[in-house]
Chain A
Amino acid sequence: GQQVMQIPQYQHVQEGEDFTTYCNSSTTLSNIQWYKQRPGGHPVFLIQLVKSGEVKKQKRLTFQFGEAKKNSSLHITATQTTDVGTYFCAGTYNFNKFYFGSGTKLNVKP
């Protein structure tokens, strides 16, 4: 089946440090979405990227979609303890089903 790979699996940072998670697909994606899941909670939508090379920002979060639409990244600048959670990318190949990456669990030490 279709697979979206995501690295790293875990990331521990000191508050104020930056954080990046990467997603990669072997085949071209139609679009990609990013979600955040807090412990015990359900995934919450953050953003969607559709266009090749697209870059979107939400305050300290920067999302990128690769030129070939096969990879994407989420970068958090100056992490805060409220950023703790697991970040998932979810890609679709036909604008229908979304396949989730394995997730990156972020832990931020105060």
Chain B
Amino acid sequence: GAVVSQHPSWVICKSGTSVKIECRSLDFQATTMFWYRQFPKQSLMLMATSNEGSKATYEQGVEKDKFLINHASLTLSTLTVTSAHPEDSSFYICSAREAGKTNSPLHFGNGTRLTVT
């Protein structure tokens, strides 16, 4: 089946530093990837839609300069949390859908637990 690899699985960083999270589709191509944020015991909040070769589209209330998204190839999207603060601590999870299959399910990475100290 379709596999999405997300790295790192956890990261601890100091306040003010930046952290990059990678999301790779291993056995399929994904023109679109989605980045979600999940707070403890809460739902997945869509942050942005990452489009290969073009700018990401951000959901209302999500700072594009804070959460930089790059989708440079059909198999890789990255999310960079810039100038991280403790309130950015959360579980970030990416998902991807196979290119050309608008009705197909989302395939999720295992998520990244970010802790900002």
Does A33 lie at the interface of the complex (its beta carbon under 8 Å from any beta carbon of B)? yes
Contacting A at CB under 8 A, from B41-58, are 41-46, 49
A98 and B46 in contact (CB under 8 A), knowing A1-B59, A48-B103, A48-B105?
yes
Against B, the Cβ 8 Å flags (1 = close, 0 = not) of A34-52 are 0100000111110010100
Q: Check if B102 sits within 8 Å of A95, measured CB to CB.
A: yes
Q: How far is the CB of B73 from chain A (nearest CB, A)?
A: 20
Interface size class of chain A, counting residues whose CB lies under 8 Å from the partner chain: 20 to 34
A82 located at the interface, meaning its Cβ lies under 8 Å from any Cβ of chain B in the complex: no
A48, A97, A103: the one within 8 Å of B43 (CB): A103
| B78, CB-defined interface residue at 8 Å | no
Q: Nearest chain-B residue to A50 (Cβ)?
A: B103
Cβ-defined contact, B59 with A96, below 8 A: no
The verdict on A101 contacting chain B, using a C-beta distance below 8 Å, is: yes
Q: Which of A97, A99, A102 contacts B42 (CB 8 A)?
A: A102
Known: A45-B105, A45-B106. Is A96-B32 also a contact (CB below 8 A)?
Answer: yes
Whether the pair B106, A88 counts as a contact (CB closer than 8 A) is: no
Q: Identify the closest chain A residue to B104 (Cβ).
A: A48
CB pair A96 B49 closer than 8 Å: yes
- Please name all residues of chain A whose beta carbon is closer than 8 Å to the beta carbon of B60 when the two chains form the complex: 1
Collect the chain B residues with CB atoms within 8 Å of residue A105's CB: 41
Query: Is there a chain B Cβ closer than 8 Å to A72's Cβ?
Result: no
Interface residues of B, Cβ cutoff 8 Å to A = 32, 34, 36, 41-46, 49, 59-60, 93, 95, 102-103, 105-111
15 sample A-B contacts, Cβ–Cβ < 8 Å, listed by A number: A1-B60, A41-B110, A42-B93, A42-B110, A42-B111, A43-B93, A43-B108, A44-B108, A45-B106, A45-B107, A48-B103, A95-B102, A96-B32, A98-B34, A100-B44
- Besides A35-B106, A42-B111, A48-B105, 8 other A-B contacts (C-beta < 8 A): A33-B106, A42-B109, A48-B103, A96-B49, A97-B46, A98-B106, A101-B43, A103-B43
